């Protein structure tokens, strides 16, 4: 059978692309190598009745437009909000930020009255910046060097949009796009726990330290998430991250898309600089004049394509695309709730994000170790206990703990194997033990994932969770490379629809949404 469009990869972006195309009446086939769709957004039962969000673990960036367009709530999506961020400190102190502004003010004032007074202004400023950037997430990045008058007009519209900020806000926008998170936050705050916890958003999934230029934008990237119209809101999907992918997959199939699992693609077949088919690992040959890849750029162009179909210049650009893996993940099954030294009693501090980020120097030290090929001996940890809000994830009285770990370099100096993986997991547990003395006694099962594991299991180059770093030279029209920020490729009929395209990583659906719009405008359908 011949399809209008073949989508390679059944992660959430590929599924979004398929859903929009099928809704528009195209015949669509999604090819997924795993036994189930979802990519990094999955829920699996790894131990007894405990359910892990194995890789991605929270929702904030998922587009409200996509949720409404595809009627994802009808298909089972329910997001449970996370109302607090809890930062335990080594001196048995702590910092809690919550959705209650009065409570947050009082908490920050315990550390710095100056910071407590500045914090509402900072949050209002970040919300303004998010409102500026948010419309740009859904545009097709124009090629500034194109002779096409439509692209030049699009560029002028974007320039007009940014010009409307006024000089003060525009200056702030430029600083956020270029500065380090540390330098930017130093202009606002003095308290180390507050600065460190805020800056940690700037290092997630990126092989940079909080003092590295460009991390201020990554911080802003995470501020652009919203739940029910509220910026900087985070949540967990009921049923784990697989519920997001399952809802999108149900929408896609309801519109008529076919999702074929256990079907790894071997090659994208081209003829005269146009896509003509794909071949699967089992030799199956499927024709289509339009293919959309949700795989990362390097996996797409360097692994699935014949190099003779691409120019040497383009291959060099994709080869140099920065996809350094820097993150690990540890999932725990717990027999009871953890007891923090600084706040030993159960409370809502356990119901939101828990951030092991006591100071900027702590984070920089963690980065310094990774720079030289070691996993951090005292890593940054972003922790959730989702079973507190979603009781279906664990048996009664028991819990699952999700731990995102920064830094774990893909190119580990001593190499990743079973021993180094176990030692890495032990380092995470030891770090937790500083704050949770009972942690070892309550661990029933642990799952340890290194960047190499992420690469092997998901087919993501170097296990980079964003399909390429969110550095300034890899954003907007330059993602993944100059001239191809518009979801098109040098091959006619071949499109990119994954996180290696604008606006980048996170469970947002924007790359899939934007790519679908470009595919629907493709001349082959006219």
Calpha distance 391→396 (Å, rounded): 7
C-alpha closest to that of 140 among 473, 501, 498: 501
Q: With contact defined as beta carbons under 8 Å apart, do 245 and 258 qualify?
A: no
> Residue 131's beta-bridge partner residues?
none
Residue 235 DSSP label: E
- DSSP per residue over 270-303, as a string? EETTEEEEEEETT--EEE-S-EEE-S-HHIIIII
Cβ atoms of residues 137 and 223 within 8 Å:
no
**Under CATH, what is the fold of the domain 323-458?**
Polyamine Oxidase; Chain A, domain 2 (3.90.660)
One pLDDT digit (tens) per residue for the chain, 526 residues: 789 999 999 999 999 999 999 999 999 999 999 999 999 999 999 999 999 999 999 998 898 999 999 999 999 999 999 999 999 999 999 999 999 999 999 999 999 999 999 999 999 999 999 889 989 999 999 988 888 888 889 889 998 998 888 999 999 999 999 999 999 999 999 999 999 999 999 999 899 999 999 999 999 988 876 665 555 678 999 999 999 999 999 999 999 999 999 999 999 999 999 999 999 999 999 999 999 999 999 999 999 999 999 999 999 999 999 999 999 999 999 999 999 999 999 999 999 999 999 999 999 999 999 999 999 999 999 999 999 999 999 999 999 999 999 999 999 999 999 999 999 999 999 999 999 999 999 999 999 999 999 999 999 999 999 999 998 899 999 999 999 999 999 999 999 999 999 999 999 999 999 999 999 998 654 3
Domain map of the chain by residue range? 5-44+55-79+240-322+467-525, 98-228, 323-458
Gyration radius (Cα) of the chain, Å: 22
CA 415 to chain centre: 25
Spatial CA neighbour of 227 closest among 69, 45, 80: 80
What is the signed CA dihedral for 200, 205, 210, 211, rounded to 10 degrees? -170
Report the pLDDT value the prediction gives residue 85, as an integer from 0 to 100: 96
What value, to the nearest 5°, has the Cα angle with vertex 479 and ends 474 and 485?
145
The confidence score (pLDDT) of residue 496 equals 98
Residue 177 neighbours by CB distance under 10 Å: 16
CATH of 5-44+55-79+240-322+467-525, one of 3.40.50.300, 3.40.50.800, 3.50.50.60, 2.60.120.200: 3.50.50.60
Q: How far apart are CA 384 and CA 388, in angstroms?
A: 9
How far apart CA 19 and CA 513 sit, in angstroms, is 9
Write down the pTM of the prediction: 0.96
228-242: b (≥16 Cβ within 10 Å) or e: eeebbbbbbbbbbbb
275: Cα separation from own chain's centroid: 29
Report the relative pairing of strands 94-98 and 84-88 from DSSP bridges.
antiparallel
Show Cβ contacts of residue 113 under 8 Å, excluding neighbours closer than 6 positions.
Answer: none
CB hemisphere CA count around 444 (13 angstroms): 18
371 C-beta neighbours (distance < 10 Å), count = 12
Rounded Cα–Cα distance for residues 116 and 232 (Å): 18
3-state secondary structure of 331: strand
Burial of 279 (0-12, 13-18, 19+ CB in 10 A): middle
Give the C-alpha separation, 279 to 284, whole Å. Answer: 6
Give the three-class secondary structure for 39.
Answer: coil
Spatial distance between the Cα atoms of 456 and 206, rounded to a whole number of angstroms: 19
CA nearest to 248, candidates 70, 78, 79: 70
Alpha-carbon distances, residue 288 vs 249, 382, 473 (angstroms) = 21, 42, 33
| Confidence at residue 523, expressed as pLDDT on a 0 to 100 scale | 63
pLDDT at position 149: 85
Cα distance between residue 24 and residue 395, in whole Å: 43
DSSP string, 142-175: P-TT---HHHHHHHHHHHHHHHTT-HHHHHHHHH
Q: CA 161, 166, 167: angle at the middle one, nearest 5?
A: 125
């Amino acid at each position: 059978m011949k399809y209008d469009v073949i989508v390679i990869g059944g992660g959430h972006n590929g599924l979004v692309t398929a859903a929009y195309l099928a809704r528009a009446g195209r015949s669509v086939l999604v090819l997924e190598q795993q036994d189930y769709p979802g990519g990094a957004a999955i829920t699996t039962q790894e131990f007894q009745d405990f359910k892990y969000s194995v890789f991605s673990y929270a929702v904030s960036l998922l587009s409200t437009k996509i949720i409404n367009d595809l009627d994802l709530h009808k298909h089972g999506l329910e997001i449970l909000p996370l109302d607090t961020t809890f930062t335990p400190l080594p001196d048995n102190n702590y910092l809690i930020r919550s959705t209650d502004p009065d409570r947050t003010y009082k908490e920050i004032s315990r550390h710095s009255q100056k910071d407590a007074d500045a914090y509402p202004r900072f949050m209002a400023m970040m919300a303004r910046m998010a409102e500026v950037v948010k419309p740009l997430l859904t545009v097709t990045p124009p090629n500034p060097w194109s002779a096409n008058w439509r692209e030049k007009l699009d560029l002028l519209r974007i320039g007009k949009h940014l010009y409307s900020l006024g000089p003060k806000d525009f200056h702030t926008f430029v600083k956020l796009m270029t500065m380090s998170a540390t330098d930017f936050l130093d202009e606002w705050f003095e308290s180390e726990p507050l600065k460190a916890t805020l800056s940690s958003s700037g290092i997630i999934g990126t092989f940079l330290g909080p003092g590295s230029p460009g991390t201020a934008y990554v911080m802003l990237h995470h501020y652009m998430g919203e739940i029910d119209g509220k910026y900087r809101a985070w949540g967990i999907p009921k049923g784990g991250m697989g519920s997001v992918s399952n809802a999108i997959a149900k929408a896609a199939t309801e519109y008529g898309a076919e999702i074929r699992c256990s079907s790894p693609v071997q090659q994208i077949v081209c003829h005269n600089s146009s896509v003509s088919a794909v071949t699967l690992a089992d030799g199956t040959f499927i024709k289509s004049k339009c293919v959309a890849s949700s795989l990362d750029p390097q996996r797409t162009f360097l692994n699935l394509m014949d190099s003779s179909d691409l120019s040497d210049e383009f291959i060099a650009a994709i080869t140099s695309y920065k996809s350094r893996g820097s993150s690990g993940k540890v999932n725990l099954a717990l027999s009871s709730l953890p007891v923090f030294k600084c706040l030993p009693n159960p409370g809502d501090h356990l119901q939101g994000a828990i951030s092991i980020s006591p100071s900027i120097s702590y984070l920089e030290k963690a980065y310094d170790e990774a720079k030289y090929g070691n996993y951090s001996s005292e890593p940054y940890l972003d922790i959730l206990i989702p079973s507190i809000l979603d009781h279906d994830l664990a048996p009664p009285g028991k819990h699952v703990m999700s731990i995102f770990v920064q830094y774990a370099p893909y190119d580990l100096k001593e190499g990743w194997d079973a021993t180094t993986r176990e030692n890495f997991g032990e380092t995470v547990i030891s770090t937790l033990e500083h704050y949770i003395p009972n942690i070892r006694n309550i661990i029933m099962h642990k799952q340890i994932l290194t960047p190499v594991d992420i690469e092997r299991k998901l087919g993501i180059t170097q296990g980079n969770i964003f399909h390429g770093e969110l550095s300034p030279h890899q954003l907007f029209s330059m993602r993944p490379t100059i001239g191809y920020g518009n979801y098109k490729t040098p091959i006619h009929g071949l499109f990119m629809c994954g996180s290696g395209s604008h606006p980048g990583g996170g469970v947002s659906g924007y790359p899939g949404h934007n790519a679908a719009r470009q595919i629907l405008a493709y001349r082959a359908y006219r």
